[in-house]
Structure 1
């Protein structure tokens, strides 16, 4: 967002001679901002986020020059699928799944959320079923 705002002001500075009266400055900046935001959204669909820190987080694995890009691609795709899965499940199930994936026990999660342990297990089970359906689709 900071980059888009900066682009708006750079564009406004470059086209300052186009501004006829000071009263037109506000709507003029709004139009420039809308155009820059539209361009950013349109181009952002085609850009992919690259996780450069994945190789640094796993020092115990040897980094082969031939397999490193493939491993990075697989890890990135896995993170993308996990994020998509977490967005598809409901917030109540997500509140149990995220700490479970972080390594917390079901008992700790249930206590932290103020729910019964059986409820936490049921939500994990629902998440697993939903993940299986997503994998088959």
Structure 2
């Protein structure tokens, strides 16, 4: 069957025809995306899946069924561009957040690294309580609700966690 035959059958709802389209063109779409995207094969394969989902939804709108491959690669190009723009926006947003967080946390980069390493050595429930109550300013009740823990447990985790952090970082109990 030609691409045009497969497009007409898939437009009529034939899953088998669309499956043949995917089999026939997925290599070209994936190879194109692997060359276009810096995120490697995993990102390219994820975007390729998105391409074929879009193609399945939009196959009835394809004006020139003989141009199927070009149409699919056009969708791939647009999806890759969307992903690249989204990644750039995320990087800008995350960078701005990181800078504002670093400025509000104070201290040197070395101090922040030491604190992050010390937090990493706390048991996960203690770390969660300290992160919410000390670092993020949540109340014990809010943290208890979010973590589904009794409020007394949250209070003791915060107290013990703070003490362990001070000990690991060389501070005293009066700090």
Where on the TM-score scale, by shorter chain, does this alignment land: which range? 0.3 to 0.5
Q: Which has the larger radius of gyration?
A: 2
Higher helix share: 2
* TM-score of the aligned structures, taking structure 1 as reference length: 0.46
* TM-score of the aligned structures, taking structure 2 as reference length: 0.37
